[in-house]
Structure 1
Amino acid sequence: MPDASRTHLVLIPSYNTGERLFSTVAAARAQWSPVWVVVDGSTDGTGERLQEMARSDPGLRVWLLPENQGKGSAVLHGLRMAEQAGFTHALAMDSDGQHPADLIPAFMQASLARPDTMVLGRPIFDASAPLLRVRGRRISNGWTQLETLFAGIGDSLYGFRIYPVGALIRVMERQPWMRRFDFDTEAVVRLAWGGVKPVNIDAPVKYLSAAEGGVSHFNYLRDNVLLTWMHTRLMVEFVLRLPQLLYRRLRRKPPFQR
């Protein structure tokens, strides 16, 4: 097992992921320490079993939330605990086996080299990816590029990424959104507005079938309505912020590029 980091941790929110949670945690622990898991009101018994595992593994910590509050809320709980413990960065990854645990060290090294950035996974899809979801994320990514004045965010929805802990907590505490499926996109937009630059790293993503233990809580109607409402809010705020964003962008450029 790797030596424990004092600045960077892996943070895994989980809700009713079943057996896939344990292989995901094991894969993450093989690559990094510490790994923290926030079980978001799961009713499948995985939280209690994972707590048992953590009793014999000092590199693993588990929190059980009493009821399901959404991915963003689970991540925020973990971020607050991380900040209290002195950590500065958290690599968020899903608990369902879609994300490449073997790339955790590479992402962490990129963050350690540039701690003022957010390190974002840029998904590489294989044949398992649902075509409708791949096309849908292109639309979301287009809106994100516009909302951030083309700040260079490679993908707005891929949840395998490293956040600066303090900056994201401050962003989330200033408004009531970003608590459910809208979390991933709104987090990168608002961090970009705050001047946190993205670093993009290609990373494969797997869509596991039910036979492979894959679990998905994505609902096309509910979650696309949520994303539409989110981008509507962000676009309104983007228009209001536009003079400030343009001024900041111009100040970062050398005079001969203006």
Structure 2
Amino acid sequence: MSASRPVGVLDSGVGGLSLLRDIRRELPHEDLLYVADSACAPYGDRSTAWIARRSARIIEFLVAQGCKAVVIACNTITAVAVGALREAFDIPIIAIEPAIKPAVALTRSGVIAVMATSRTLQSDSLHRLRRRHGAGVEVLFVPCPGLADRVEAIDLDSAELHAQLHTLLSPALRKGADTLVLGCTHYPFLIDSIARVAGAGVRIVDPSPAVAAEVRRRLHEQGLLRRRVELGIDSVWTSAATDQARDTIGALLDQHLEVRQLPPLGRD
């Protein structure tokens, strides 16, 4: 496979742009192709079979675009379907997951909290992570319904958002949580608001930089790193209206990217 091919990134919406941003910092010379399946979001309300089928079709689309590797920028897809996807495709698939292990190493109080969608928190894979890395530490799960929708609507700092965060986080903070794990790629766009609500003594762990570093490692391992002077190009495909996606992406990343319409991927 040619190293000149792009790297694909997929998410149920625009939240994965937080990971795309870190991949771009880590790999400035790679071409990145991002799929935002915003018309079908949120995935957390979908069945496991639907998520597996839909994400496979998006990866098929990315492979058809020539992608040499795919990054799953959606914790829900990772939680319910990454194993099947890796079996189905013969290109590297790198997936994000909540950073419980680093959070356990950081906590001083012995209590950490994972913020995520209900579907992610209910998954067997997350419970396995807690058993594997959470020995001796209390790992609290904090369901955050509606937070991803606020990011999609560019509500990143409103009074209503702060009130919602206070309601969501107060029980975990009262139990002594001093480390918060961002278990959804939408949440890094809310990190300033989360920090204000949580307080100065609480650390916030975003797994995106570590995933971006893993993408570099995997590409290097397989001889697929692109060696060139020119900076890479970011391209975006969306299943939602392109004008709306263009405005949302511009607001989140403070830059204008080319946005194209994702073609129909079959009946779901």
Please indicate, yes or no, whether the TM-score normalized by the shorter chain is above 0.5: no
TM-score, length-scaled by structure 2: 0.28
Q: Which has the higher contact order (CA 8 A, sep 6+)?
A: 2
TM-score, length-scaled by structure 1: 0.29
